[in-house]
Structure 1
Amino acid sequence: MPPETPWSPTSTPTSTKMAENVEVPLGEAMHRKEYQFEIVLSSGKTLCRESKTGESKLDMKDLQEQTQSIMKILLGDIHSVDIQFIFSKDKTYSNIGLWAHRSILSRHKSFADLIEKTIKSRGGNGTEPGFLTIHIDNFTLATFCCLLRYLYTGEIGHSIDSSQFAFSTLDPAAVVVRDASSGCVKDNVKWSPLEPTSSWQLKDVRWTELLFLSDHFGITSLRNQCKDNVIESIDDRNVIEILFEVGCSFEGVKAAGLDYVADNKESLFKDGNDPFEEYRCRKECYTLMVEVMKRMSGN
């Protein structure tokens, strides 16, 4: 048998077999209105993925809007929620419960840890069905609404529309209800106590409030947006307040505030005015004033 001749770019094949045309039913080659092939050979510079029937390619923007719409429905759905947040120190709304879904919040480690800790404190293992109540002491109901809206939809809204959330309150005058299947006594919960016409409307949430809350729960993307907006909002009227109330906890805000004071010393210290006078009793005051003077001197 003669030795096999190695192939080279100049080799001439002894025979050529043309690829056969294979017809594939359109329904088997399409997925979500797009052709689905592992390999596509084309002589054109661009490849149109739309079907020949004229069906348009799925718009990712439309898909995102549909998903966001579903999440908005979930946010206010009283029939599927299973975790309640109570804000005991928010005196106006201390008897109001704000509801959400464990499965959605547990995607974030801080909430997953908080939920697990609460369950263990009740002697559970996390597999038991039923509602879970968590008390939030350091933040307001309105600010927490902003956080939930962001976690569900990616949107930031400072004005709270109570119709978009699942609120409840315990009616102390209501008769308790006994569950016939389990024999357990349940409190009679009143849903949606915050009507749009109520005189007790939730106040708009400030960037600084949302910054502290997002930082507390480790929601980095929201925290960064809040920080940038706080820095952008700095002016002669609020720079000192932001330095003390926010800058002492966030280095980026502190640096921006100090730079602003140094760059605008003429207007802030005009006619012998001392913008730090109101905060002289604060232990951070001396350190911040020294930092400002260093910037003024160019050091």
Structure 2
Amino acid sequence: MKLLSALLLSSTLAMVAPNVWAQANTIPSQPHLLVKGSATRTVMPDRFTVKVALESVDPRTDVARQRLQGNNQRVIELFKRSGAIAGTVRADNLSIAPSTHYRDGEQVFEGTRVSRQLEAAFPTVEALQVFLGGLEASKEVQVRTAAPSYAGEATLRAALKGEAAAQTRASAKGLARAYGATVTGLYSISDVAPSFAYGVQAGSWPDARGTSDYSDARPMDSVEVTGSHSANAPGVTGELLTAAPITYTENVYAIFLIQDGP
């Protein structure tokens, strides 16, 4: 019964603590266990996205539009020749607006600015490099890469959540058994770390190594450039774009109700 009394006291203190009034209704009044499950998987990215900004300015609106449309067609064709993934090629709506600048404190009309954003993803860094090598960038054609990603991220995260949830159940049963108690049911489950009077604050839950996990590992902000050359991309010269693996982590926090005895 000492275990039940201690756990009940812990729950009571958590409910009356001034800094957790907002969360008091999420803590059960009966004896319980708060456990964390975590699942991690590291994968190689398979989506390498590039974005191209097109812009043309001319006093004659139709001239600016035709010049942009010419650049647009060349980029789209290069997307296809370089092996862009079907369904990832996207073109924003055409934007037309006045273009001005200031000269000696006065606003001067330059003409009409016509702009559009293009985007596509490639399955390999070699394919992306082929595209970049064939693109003629200029004042009217600006290019940048986005963070590499993994096409199966949503499915992977769902699987990781399932693994993390299963881990909470196993942990709860093991802890209860070690203290001669039995898990009687699930009170709550969440993927957001709680902030109760357990000495653990949201976002700083210790992991198995004793360190704190403040957030999921995030993909790199952009592809890295190394001095290596690709042996699998004939005709591609210069530096090879590479990307580091992406690590996905899902955490689940659960409160299980327990009772003394088997």
Greater RCO (CA < 8 Å, at least 6 residues apart): 2
TM beyond 0.5: no
Structure with the largest fraction of strand: 2
| TM-score, normalised by the number of residues in structure 2 | 0.21
Q: Which has the larger radius of gyration?
A: 1
| TM-score, normalised by the number of residues in structure 1 | 0.19
Structure with the largest fraction of helix: 1
